[in-house]
């Protein structure tokens, strides 16, 4: 039914689609036409050019993609429109598109409904749904977005192809709708007008506001990067091509959308359609000069490759749409199920495809090939989105929609042919993006180029420092910062950098060089105190230098003077790291030391809970035993020399026991301090000792501790005084250091910092929930402050059997740059390995103490907010009692003035710290990024992983002060705004129903959904408050790679393993798991080995040494060591995973259908979660809806 309705609609849609995109754009279209024509030309040209671009990530991502996308859109819309016009005839097709459009539906539904409503006659809801879908159809843009994902090239091609194809395919259906055609004319005219002359005016003409927006987008987009370039100018210029190339993808997607757009078009679209109709793809293109760029991109567009997937999705989508439209179809359910739906969808896609191909050929000879795939893309994406959305529309309800999907199935009918190709991968696939990036990255990343986004964190690459800090140290959300605050505000893209100052570099990269400027200390700007760096301009023959941060001119000290060469560079530029590198270290002078005194070597103090629980769980004896050998591995800078770090030992329950382990003693001495209310350190000499000197005494002590407390009955513990004790000890020794606290239970003994059990599940979901994340008492905040002042970093190892209030206990570790480790229900047997590995790593890792970090920026922006494990006593200095190689700090920047495109934006992160050998140093990381006056540039040079890192930290901190629901809403809103802004300003015109995602952000929705679904923001019933607090703290200091795998776990099929390379990951969805497969999942905290129920015996034998599935012991914590290549390789992989992460991951073997599978499923983040989190598809629909609301 729906379909029918749709059909009618569809026809309009089909036409409209173009119209949609176009309708709004219509005017644009008008403009486009011109471009189109050129495009064709360019397109062809592009195609060739494109590929290369595709290869280079930079280009694609760079302005091109987004812009191009818009452009493409425009183009597409135009061309598609034309194409579509063709398609429109195909009434059926349109519906599908609509279905595919589901994207649009999600967003569009609302608006659509109305449009649709009338035609559909179907239930309003359904209508809406349908509308949604239809709109979703437009979402195809999303698909477009996707398209880009596939590969920059593909996208382009896809765009083209899709554009054409979709248009074609759909076109046919729409074609039926005469109206569409008519509109085209108008649209074209309008669009043309737009483009050429007064864009705005055209808009007015256009009916819907959307159009205008789209127009604006167009305009803006066009003007900005690719679009502009792509557009006429671009065409002309060779540059455009590349940019276009990337752009194309988008455009493609858009195009596909455009096809779906028809729905939209119904209302406004028509215009665009008109264009399309005017000249099926080809003609349109030809007609539209502007399009050229797109076309170019399209041409270049590897479209073919990319498209296919899209097409598939589109196929699916269509179906969904159809579902909505055609609720009748029972198939919906299948839809839900990954496989079945696809098929159904397939049909639609197929339809598209078939048509696409057909149509494409028709319209665009060259493009045709790509088109088919493209078409597929757009539709699919659209469809997928749309469908999901429609379901999502009701976010919660999204699922219900699925049935609709089933319904769509019918639609599939048309798609039927394509079914085979159908695949859930229609929506942007993280895996695809990751793999593409890997494939693309085969040269070292050179940091010298300003504004260039580095490869993804999932890609392994070599870095060559040529003036900017390595991405291993600094990653930014945007490598092209908006020039003005208004732009930044408009885009809502967070401007942030994730800085990991002491990051460990791979062995083949040099650690930062040490620079010693002598007694005067590092040379700095007189005014802003920025440190000497490659951005400093030497003037007056080298006698002075001008600070690039504040423009102040400072004299060069005589001992630092050097002549300049003819380019104004110092002659010794390349001899000095501080003049040529992005990261380096200064040797600090005594002026940089506390109390103007060179620091003492740091100390490590081990504070071990010896209450009943601790002893009984075996923790005490494990720790003591391990420490004996571990003490030989204290951090040191020169492996040849013994560490200068001194150690001390304390045990405690309700009282504290200090130990005198002075070398001269025959036996250690225990000093009991029972006055916990007023903690102090009972001894000085002999508490902190050099390991080698006191080895015997220490070993004796560690041997005796477990014995001494073996019979303890003391169950109460204190906590505050324990940290105080360590702090006082460091104070007494006048050094910085680290406390290792091994703690088991809620500190209920009478003492400062005493806590009570406040875990109250009833508060979850209420406004009071935030209080559970806040520390219970203020005591620890003050304590943390004191710790920071002394440079006392606290690492907390928790072994709780019940609630311990991590939120409160973690205050000090988090504020002092420490870490919290939690081993719930610790059992020596199963958890020992994990704990010991964590301990070893934590103890040995590179760490700095008593650090202060300051981020200086060039005029125009400044660091306004910081996230991580630290303490701030003022607004600029990040104080870190301890800073280790795994800790990252996220810094948010805000404008306080305009930036200039010429100079870009500079930031310098200086970390003053005491090394583990007691040397005071400054580590400097410099980062320069471009500034842009076009939003498209911004969108083209973003890094989604970093944005997610920022968002997660921002949100997780937000739960302290806001209800979690509000936090989630804020996230969704911001994300929607980002995408809407893109859509509005950068994307080529397309129907509002299209979901258009920037190339660089196409994974934003899926990742964001993962953040939203995380235990912190959306806890399941079995997630304890402690767990949430724990995760919250964990995230706060994660770097981008950590957050990435944390939010989107790595899932590897390991049925077939090759040495030297890892199997390609699969997406985190149950659909991807095969019963006969074995999968390894890594989340950064957990490691699962999922074993399907019908795995081949041989595999089981190789893996577990047992042929029977039922005999696999799911409690095993390590794979059996078997002498076969498969087992060896898998264990190798596991080991390498563990080595990559800062925390040891315990292996959990999950048998299909086993109890533990529930836990495992929790990490299948693309699926709907047990706690109510939306599935990827649903969320995407929801997001689209949000965007649409914003745009309308």
Partner 1 sequence: MATFSEYIAQNEERDGVRFSWNVWPSSRLEATRMVVPVASLLTPLKERTDLPPIQYEPVLCSRATCRAVLNPLCQVDYRAKLWACNFCYQRNQFPPSYAGISEVNQPAELLPHFSTIEYVVQRGPQMPLVFLYLVDTCMEDEDLQALKESLQMSLSLLPPTALVGLITFGRMVQVHELGCEGISKSYVFRGTKDLNAKQLQEMLGLTKSSGAQGRGPQTPQQPLSNRFLQPVQKIDMNLTDLLSELQRDPWPVTQGKRPLRSLGVAMSIAVGLLECTFSNTGARIMTFIGGPATQGPGMVVGDELKTPIRSWHDIEKDNAKFMKKATKHFEALANRASTNGHIIDIYACALDQTGLLEMKCCPNYTGGYMVMADSFNTSLFKQTFQRVFTKDVQGSFKMAFAATLEVKTSREIKVCGAIGPCVSLSTKGPCVSENEIGTGGTCQWKICGLDPSTTLALYFEVVNQHNAPIPQGGRGAIQFVTQYQHSSGQRRIRVTTTARNWADAQTQIQTIAASFDQEAAAILMARLAVYRAETEEGPDVLRWLDRQLIRLFMFHLRRSPFLQVFNNSPDESSYYRHHFNRQDLTQALIMIQPVLYAYSFNGPPEPVLLDSSSILPDRILLMDTFFQIVIYHGETVAQWRKAGYQDMPEYENFKHLLQAPVDDAQELLHTRFPMPRYIDTEHGGSQARFLLSKVNPSQTHNNMYAWGQESGAPILTDDVSLQVFMDHLKKLAVSSAA
Q: Which residues of 314-325 are buried (b: 16+ CB within 10 A; e: fewer)?
A: bbbbbbbbbbbb
Q: Which residues of 1142-1174 are buried (b: 16+ CB within 10 A; e: fewer)?
A: bbbbbbbbbbbebeebeebbbbbbbbbbebebb
Rounded to a whole number, what is the largest CA-CA distance in the chain? Answer: 101
In the complex with partner 1, the residue whose CB is nearer, 352 or 657, is 657
Q: Least distance to partner 1 from the beta carbon of 725, Å?
A: 11
Q: Which is nearer to partner 1, 555 or 678 (CB)?
A: 678
Residue with smaller CB distance to partner 1, 643 or 694? 694
Q: Which two structure tokens, joined as six digits, stand for 370?
A: 């790509």
| Comparison of 697 and 1181: residue with beta carbon closer to partner 1 | 697
Which CB, 350 or 655, lies closer to partner 1? 655
Pick between residue 710 and residue 1158 the one whose CB is nearest to partner 1.
710
Minimum distance, C-beta of residue 693 to partner 1, in the bound complex (Å): 16
Q: Report the C-alpha gap between 702 and 707 in whole angstroms.
A: 9
Residue 667 CB, shortest distance to partner 1, in Å, is: 6
| Binding interface with partner 1 (CB under 8 A) | 655, 657-659, 665-675, 678, 680, 682-686, 700-701, 704, 708
Query: From the CB of 681, what's the least distance to partner 1, in Å?
Result: 9
| C-alpha–C-alpha distance, residues 460 and 466, integer Å | 19
Least spacing, CB of residue 662 vs partner 1, in Å: 8
Residue 617: CB minimum distance to partner 1, A: 23
Q: Least CB distance from residue 434 to partner 1, whole Å?
A: 55
Distance in angstroms (rounded) separating the CA atoms of residues 422 and 309: 8
- Parallel/antiparallel/unpaired status of strands 1086-1091 and 1078-1082: antiparallel
Cα-trace Rg, the chain:
31
Residue-wise DSSP of 129-167:
HHHHHHHHTTTHHHHHHHHHHH-SHHHHHHHHHHTHHHH
Q: Which is nearer to partner 1, 655 or 811 (CB)?
A: 655
Cβ proximity to partner 1, 667 vs 801, nearer residue:
667
As a whole number of angstroms, the distance between CA 350 and CA 420 comes to 8
Q: Which is nearer to partner 1, 255 or 653 (CB)?
A: 653
> Residue 672 CB, nearest distance to partner 1 (Å)?
4
Question: Phi and psi dihedrals of 672, rounded to 5?
Answer: -95, 130
* Residues facing residue 1133 across a β-bridge: none
Of 667 and 1115, nearer to partner 1 (C-beta) is 667
Q: 269 to each of 67, 330, 623, how far by Cα in Å?
A: 21, 31, 70
Identity of the residue, 708 or 789, whose beta carbon is nearer to partner 1 in the bound complex: 708
* Of the candidates 1091, 1126, 1120, 1083, the residue with the CA atom closest to the CA atom of residue 1105: 1120
Minimum Å gap between C-beta 649 and partner 1 is: 11
Candidates 223, 277, 245; CA nearest to 78 is 277
User: In the structure encoding, which two tokens stand for residue 812, read together?
Assistant: 């000090």
First to last CA, the chain: 28
Least separation in angstroms between CB 665 and partner 1: 7
Report the alpha-carbon distance of residue 574 to residue 569 in Å, rounded. 10
In the complex, minimum distance from the CB of residue 670 to partner 1, in angstroms, rounded to a whole number? 4
List CB contacts of 239: < 8 A, sequence separation 6 or more: 229
Minimum distance of partner 1 from residue 674's CB (angstroms): 3
Distance CA 366, CA 505 (A): 47
Q: Using the minimum distance from each CB to partner 1, give the nearer residue, 505 or 708.
A: 708
Contact in structure between 102 and 385 (CB atoms under 8 Å): yes
Q: Rounded distance, CA 730 to CA 753, Å?
A: 20
* Nearer of residues 492 and 669 to partner 1, judged by Cβ: 669
- SS3 of residue 653 by DSSP: coil
Output 540 or 685, the one with its CB closest to partner 1. 685
Question: Closer CB to partner 1, residue 670 or residue 1023?
Answer: 670
327, 122 contact by CB (below 8 A)? yes
Secondary structure of residue 1095 in the 3-state scheme:
coil
Integer CA distances (angstroms), 831 to 71, 358, 1064, in order? 56, 61, 30
Q: Which tokens go with 330?
A: 């029972």
For strand 463-464 and strand 847-857, is the pairing parallel, antiparallel, or unpaired?
Answer: unpaired
Residue 586 CB coordination number (10 Å): 26
Which DSSP state fits 599?
P
CA neighbor of 914 nearest in space, from 884, 875, 891: 884
Nearer to partner 1, 707 or 1135 (CB): 707
Phi, psi of 1035 (to 5 degrees): -65, -35
CB of 704 to partner 1, least distance (A): 5
Task: At 577, list the tokens.
Answer: 């790291």
Which tokens is 275 given? Answer: 């264009």
Beta bridge mates, 497:
476, 891
**670 touches 730 (CB < 8 A):** no
DSSP label of 1000: G
* Alpha-carbon separation of residue 595 from 598, 599, 880, 921, 1167 (angstroms): 8, 9, 17, 16, 56
Q: Smallest distance from the beta carbon of 755 to partner 1, in angstroms?
A: 20
Q: Whole-number minimum distance, CB 718 to partner 1, in Å?
A: 13
Q: How far is the CB of 627 from partner 1 (least distance, A)?
A: 16
Nearer to partner 1, 460 or 674 (CB): 674
Decide whether 384 or 661 has the Cβ nearer to partner 1.
661
Q: In whole angstroms, how close is the CB of 606 to partner 1 at the nearest point?
A: 16
Q: Do residues 630 and 835 touch, judged by C-beta distance below 8 A? A: no
Min CB(657)–partner 1 separation in Å: 8
């Amino acid at each position: 039914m729906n379909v029918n309705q749709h059909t009618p609609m569809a026809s309009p849609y089909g036409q409209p689609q173009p119209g949609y995109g176009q309708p709004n754009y219509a005017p644009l279209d008008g403009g486009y036409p011109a471009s189109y024509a050129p495009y064709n030309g360019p397109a062809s040209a592009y195609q060739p050019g494109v590929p290369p671009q595709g290869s280079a990530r930079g280009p694609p991502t760079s302005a091109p993609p987004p812009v191009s996308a818009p452009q493409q859109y425009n183009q597409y819309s135009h061309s598609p429109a034309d194409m579509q016009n063709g398609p429109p005839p195909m009434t059926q097709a349109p519906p599908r598109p609509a279905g595919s459009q589901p994207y649009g539906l999600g967003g569009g539904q609302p608006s659509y409904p109305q449009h649709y409503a009338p035609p559909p006659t179907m239930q309003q809801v359904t209508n809406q749904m349908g509308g949604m879908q239809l709109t979703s159809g437009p979402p195809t843009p999303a698909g477009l977005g996707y398209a880009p994902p596939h590969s920059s090239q593909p996208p382009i091609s896809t765009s083209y192809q899709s554009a054409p194809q979709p248009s074609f395919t759909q076109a046919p259906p729409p074609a039926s709708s005469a109206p569409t055609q008519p509109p085209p004319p108008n649209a074209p005219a309008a669009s043309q007008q737009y483009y050429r002359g007064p864009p705005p005016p055209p808009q007015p003409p256009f009916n819907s506001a959307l159009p205008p927006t789209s127009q604006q987008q167009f305009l803006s987009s066009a003007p900005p990067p690719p679009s502009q370039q792509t557009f006429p100018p671009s065409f002309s210029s060779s540059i455009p091509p590349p940019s276009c190339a990337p752009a194309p993808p988008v455009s493609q997607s858009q195009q596909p959308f455009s096809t779906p757009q028809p729905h939209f078009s119904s209302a406004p679209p028509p215009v665009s359609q008109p264009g399309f109709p005017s000249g099926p793809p080809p003609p349109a293109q030809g007609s539209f000069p502007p399009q050229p760029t797109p076309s170019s991109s399209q041409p270049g567009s590897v479209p073919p490759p990319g498209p296919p997937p899209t097409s598939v999705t589109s196929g699916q989508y269509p179906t969904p749409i159809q579902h909505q439209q055609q609720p009748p179809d029972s198939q919906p359910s299948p839809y839900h199920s990954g496989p079945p739906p696809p098929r159904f969808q397939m049909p639609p896609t197929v339809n598209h495809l078939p048509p696409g191909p057909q149509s494409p050929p028709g319209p665009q000879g060259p493009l045709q090939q790509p088109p088919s795939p493209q078409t597929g893309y757009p539709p699919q994406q659209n469809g997928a989105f749309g469908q999901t959305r429609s379901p999502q529309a009701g976010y919660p309800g999204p699922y219900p929609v699925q049935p609709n999907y089933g319904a769509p199935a019918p639609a599939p009918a048309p798609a039927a042919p394509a079914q085979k190709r159908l695949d859930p991968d229609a929506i942007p696939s993280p895996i695809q993006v990751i793999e593409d990036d890997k494939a693309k990255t085969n040269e070292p990343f050179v940091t010298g180029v300003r504004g260039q986004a580095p490869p993804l964190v999932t890609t392994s690459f070599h870095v060559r420092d040529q003036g900017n800090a390595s991405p291993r140290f600094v990653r930014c959300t945007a490598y092209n910062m908006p020039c003005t605050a208004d732009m930044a505000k408009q885009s809502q893209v967070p401007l942030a950098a994730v800085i990991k100052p002491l990051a460990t570099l791979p062995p083949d990269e040099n650690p930062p060089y040490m620079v010693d400027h002598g007694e005067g200390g590092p040379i700095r700007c007189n005014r802003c105190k920025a440190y000497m760096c490659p951005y400093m301009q030497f003037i007056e023959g080298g006698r002075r230098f001008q600070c690039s941060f504040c423009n102040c001119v400072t004299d060069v000290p005589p001992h630092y003077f050097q002549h300049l060469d003819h380019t104004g560079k110092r002659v010794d530029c390349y001899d000095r790291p501080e003049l040529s590198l992005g990261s380096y270290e200064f040797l600090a002078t005594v002026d940089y030391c506390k109390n103007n005194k060179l620091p003492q070597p740091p100390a490590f103090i081990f504070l071990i809970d010896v209450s009943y629980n601790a002893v009984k769980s075996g923790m005490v004896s494990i720790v003591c035993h391990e420490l004996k050998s571990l003490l030989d591995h204290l951090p040191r800078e020169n492996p040849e020399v013994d560490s200068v770090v001194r150690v001390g030992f304390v045990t405690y329950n309700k009282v504290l026991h200090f130990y005198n382990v002075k070398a001269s003693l025959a036996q250690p001495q225990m000093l009991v301090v029972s006055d916990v209310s007023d903690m102090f350190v009972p001894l000085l000499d002999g508490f902190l000792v050099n390991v080698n000197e006191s080895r015997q005494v220490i070993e004796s002590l560690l041997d005796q501790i477990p014995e001494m407390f073996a019979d303890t009955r003391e169950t109460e513990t204190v906590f505050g005084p324990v940290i105080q004790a360590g702090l006082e000890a460091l104070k007494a020794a006048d050094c910085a250091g680290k406390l290792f606290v091994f703690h088991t239970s809620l500190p209920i003994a009478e003492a400062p910092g005493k806590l009570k059990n406040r875990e109250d599940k009833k508060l979850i979901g209420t406004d009071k929930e935030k209080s559970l994340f806040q520390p219970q008492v203020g005591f620890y905040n003050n304590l943390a402050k004191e710790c920071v002042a002394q440079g006392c970093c606290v690492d907390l190892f928790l072994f709780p059997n019940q609630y311990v209030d991590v939120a409160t206990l973690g205050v000090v570790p988090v504020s002092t740059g420490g870490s919290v480790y939690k081993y719930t229900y610790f059992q020596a047997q199963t958890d020992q390995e994990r704990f010991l590995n964590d301990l070893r790593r934590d103890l040995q890792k590179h760490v700095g103490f008593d650090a202060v970090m300051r981020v200086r920026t060039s005029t125009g922006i400044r660091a306004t907010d910081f996230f991580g494990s630290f303490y701030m006593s003022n607004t600029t200095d990040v104080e870190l009692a301890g800073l280790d190689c795994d800790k990252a700090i996220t810094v948010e920047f805000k404008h306080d003035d305009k930036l200039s495109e010429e100079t870009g934006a500079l930031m310098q992160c200086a970390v003053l710290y005491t090394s583990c050998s007691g040397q005071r140093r400054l580590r400097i990381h410099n980062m320069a990024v471009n500034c842009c006056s076009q939003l498209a540039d911004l969108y083209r040079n973003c890094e989604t992983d970093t944005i997610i890192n920022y968002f997660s930290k921002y949100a997780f901190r937000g739960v302290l002060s806001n209800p979690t629901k509000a936090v989630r809403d804020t996230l969704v809103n911001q994300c929607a705004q980002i995408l809407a802004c893109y859509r509005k300003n950068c994307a080529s015109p397309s129907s509002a129903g299209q979901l258009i995602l920037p190339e660089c952000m196409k994974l934003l929705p899926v990742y964001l959904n993962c953040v939203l679904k995380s235990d912190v923001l959306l806890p399941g019933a079995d997630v304890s408050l402690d767990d949430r607090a724990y995760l919250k703290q964990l995230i706060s200091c994660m770097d981008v790679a950590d957050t990435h795998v944390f939010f989107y776990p790595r899932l590897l099929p390991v049925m077939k393993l090759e040495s030297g390379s890892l199997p390609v990951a699969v997406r985190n969805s149950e659909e991807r798991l095969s019963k006969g497969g074995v999968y390894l999942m890594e989340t950064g905290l957990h490691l699962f080995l999922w074993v399907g129920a019908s795995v081949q015996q041989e595999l089981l034998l190789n893996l577990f040494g047992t042929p029977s599935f039922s005999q696999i012991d799911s409690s095993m914590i390590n794979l059996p060591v078997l002498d076969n290549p498969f087992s060896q390789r898998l264990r190798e992989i596991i080991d390498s995973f563990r080595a990559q992460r800062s925390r040891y991951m315990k292996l959990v073997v999950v048998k299909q259908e086993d109890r533990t599978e529930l836990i495992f499923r929790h990490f299948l983040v693309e699926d709907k979660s047990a706690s109510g989190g939306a599935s990827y598809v649903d969320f995407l629909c929801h997001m689209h809806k949000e965007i649409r609301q914003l745009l309308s």
